[in-house]
Amino acid sequence: MRKTSIAAVLGLSLLSGAPSTEGPLSLTYDVVAVKHKLLLEAPEGERKLQTGDSATSGDALRTGWRATAELAVPERAARFHLGSSTRFRLAHDQPGVLLNLERGRLRAVFGPEERADGVSADRLVTTPSAVLAVRGTEYGIEVRKNGETSLVVFEGVVEVKELKGVGEPIRVQAGETCRVRVGKPPSPPQNHNISTHDWDRGRGMESPGQGSSMQSPMMGGDAGKPGSSGSSGSSGSSGSSSRGGGSKGRGL
């Protein structure tokens, strides 16, 4: 099955300026892989999730230091491969948005939706600085402490817009990368040579030959621990591309 990246899906309707026709919907996010810790925030404290558990729209989660996890959203044919020290919220009351990445890194893969009505719903991802939208795309995304977002596209095309609409949206194609700073237009796309294997092992745009500088402690009991440059990505990476770039289509 050809799969689509999460980031690409995120900005599609928002970038076009067309209002979403789909209202808020509660979705189930299945935990299909966990290495070390995946924690769900709850009023009584954090709860550790294991493979086979699930979370729902509106939940806030984080991975621990040197931890990875994979979530699947069957209703939207989406998978999120989450890196270490990553904090995110499963979107709620935001039509079309599946996940808000607050800090850390993920790799998003989308498959074709099979809906009874034959109409594809928006599948979007947001960060503190960007909205991302795709069709038939796989990508990696990092969010730094200051909200800066780095996008690396492995397959397909991702349309990117600054969260508050500063500047014009741009299209980032397979084999390209761009950055979005809070309140600034997206940077012009540049070429990259990062494969999904490199990405899952921690390589990012800040340290091409090393681990990503994004891998730093973020929350709770993991604070104060140094980042790991070689931590592996999600253990559930089947169906994803293993190459750094794909053929460069010119449309979504």
Q: What is the mean pLDDT of the chain?
A: 76
Which residue numbers in the chain have pLDDT < 50? 1-23, 118-119, 207-252
Pairwise CA distance, residues 41 & 32, whole Å: 19
Q: Residue 12 has what pLDDT? A: 36
The structure tokens 């491969």 sit at 81
Q: Residue 209 has what pLDDT? A: 37
Structural domains in the chain? 6-222 (2.60.120.1440)
Read off the pTM: 0.71
Burial class for 195, CB neighbours closer than 10 Å (0-12, 13-18, 19+): middle
Contact between 31 and 50 under an 8 Å Cβ cutoff? The reply is yes
176-198 pLDDT, tens digit per residue, is 999 999 999 999 999 999 999 99
Which of 200, 14, 201 is closest to 97 using CA atoms?
A: 14
- Residue 8's H or E segment, with its range, is helix 6-10
Pairwise CA distance, residues 123 & 201, whole Å: 26
